[in-house]
Amino acid sequence: MKMDANRPIGVFDSGVGGLTVAHALKQVMPEERMIYFGDTAHLPYGEKSPEAILHYADKITRFLMDQDCKTVVIACNSASSVAYGPLRDWYGTEVDIVNVIDPVVEYYLEHLAPAKVGVIGTKATIRSGAYEKKIKEKSPEAGVISRATPLLVPMIEEGFIFDNISNAIIRAYLSDEPLRSVEALILGCTHYPIIKNQISKFYDFSVEILDSAAIVARTVKDLLGEKDLLRRSGDGQKDVFYVSDYTPYFEKISGMFFEEKINLKKLDLWKDE
């Protein structure tokens, strides 16, 4: 039985970071409808245990499947590093699940390897070693420098961007000697594209910054195209954005990415637990 191409795309993250992926998806596939879930009640995922992250990701994935999503995008590096394998094993026969790590690794291997590459991300992502392991499997000679940058997510979620505070924090992390000499830098968190220009400026715009949002969006479009699941035209239905805990900043940051005010709803998936 052929799947209906008009079904929505499901996207989830711990907070506003996944909006960078949602925005990129709309840029390459403007006709598609999205259902987004930001688990703001539990952010940042990068500080949580693998068991907790998997629990949250499982609940959200099942919710998005209940909304009849044709694919689910894990728009979070922490969740991708911990939960992608189990979610694919549990639900992969019912829905395609896309993570944000593999497409970026593939891009690096195809276009940049074995250039010295830095990876910055949450504690959970860096602790998992996901980027380094996947890169070294295919390009053993590649130089990979991984560093946890845990203050960046709460900094962004609290609205400290494009100011002296954020510049100081970014400078403190990237001034680490091994990171100063990289030829490319992977933004191993979907929040980080929000401060991509500030990061580029630190490197005097001389280092290629790998933005997972744009790379993942192209991957999702190719996947849907291969399965003849691209929506041909819009039907007037609006995207829906859910958060597990309302934060005014979520609406504010959404204004950076979407021209219209988003349809935002609060939904606590864990209230009966």
76 is an active site residue:
yes
CA of 95: how far to CAs of 6, 11, 38, 131, 165, in Å?
14, 13, 20, 24, 42
Angle (CA) 205 210 215, round 5°: 135
Angle (CA) 44 46 47, round 5°: 80
Residue in 22, 64, 76, 148 annotated catalytic:
76
Hey, what are 167's tokens? 């510049």
Element (H, E) at 209: strand 208-210
| Amino acid at site 261 | K
Residue in 104, 186, 189, 215 annotated catalytic:
189
Residue 230 · residue 216 · CB < 8 Å: no
Active site residues: 76, 189
